[in-house]
A = this chain, B = another copy of it.
């Protein structure tokens, strides 16, 4: 493997996400060097995060002489909202936000929700596209609580720590049980086995 193929590009315009994974990379002493690459990608309307992530990866037209990946996530309120906001989580956050979600739930007692994270990777050494998925299940809180994290974190009570919202956990606690933490760990295991 030549030097060039040891660079791994994370295609994202979100520097926060990039820094999060970069820390994990350095801890693991992987031989890959992580670099951020901001490129235009296309998001489709589809029912699964995996479908959106794969389309997004394949929409990258630039010639990249190395492996590269994207990460996509979604928040699904399976009950009582039939999976809403799903793959449109970012848009719904920008328009109606957590206040809107709580109005829709309206003190419903038996809620069920989950987050999914999908990493879609073009892995040059094998000339293959691979996906790494992480899921976390939980419930919806009656009110917004906590100030860490972002997005839907203040209203999500993970089943593993059912008394705290994601926004009330430290980054380490959240990473240990979160969808994104699980997907990243699968991804890093793969890289260790293919280092």
Determine whether the beta carbon of A96 is less than 8 Å from that of B104.
Answer: yes
A43 within 8 A of B: yes
Nearest B residue to A43, CB-CB: B45
- In whole Å, how far is A16's beta carbon from the nearest beta carbon of chain B? 20
| Residues of A113-158 contacting chain B, CB below 8 A | none
Closest 10 interchain pairs by CB? A84-B95, A43-B45, A82-B95, A88-B88, A103-B103, A84-B96, A100-B104, A44-B44, A42-B44, A103-B104
| Residues of A13-69 contacting chain B, CB below 8 A | 42-45, 52, 55
Which B residues are in CB contact (< 8 Å) with A82? 94-96
Interface size range on A against B = 20 to 34
Of A45, A83, A94, A104, most buried by chain B (CB within 10 Å of CB) is A45
A7 within 8 A of B: no
8 Å CB contact of A91 from B44, B52, B86, B100? B86
Determine whether the beta carbon of A45 is less than 8 Å from that of B88.
Answer: yes
Determine whether the beta carbon of B103 is less than 8 Å from that of A106.
Answer: yes
A81 within 8 A of B: yes
- A92 and B95 CA atoms in complex are apart in Å by 13
Q: List 22 A-B contacts (CB under 8 A).
A: A42-B44, A42-B55, A43-B44, A44-B44, A44-B45, A45-B45, A45-B52, A45-B87, A45-B88, A45-B91, A81-B95, A82-B95, A82-B96, A83-B95, A84-B91, A84-B92, A84-B100, A86-B91, A88-B88, A103-B103, A103-B104, A103-B106
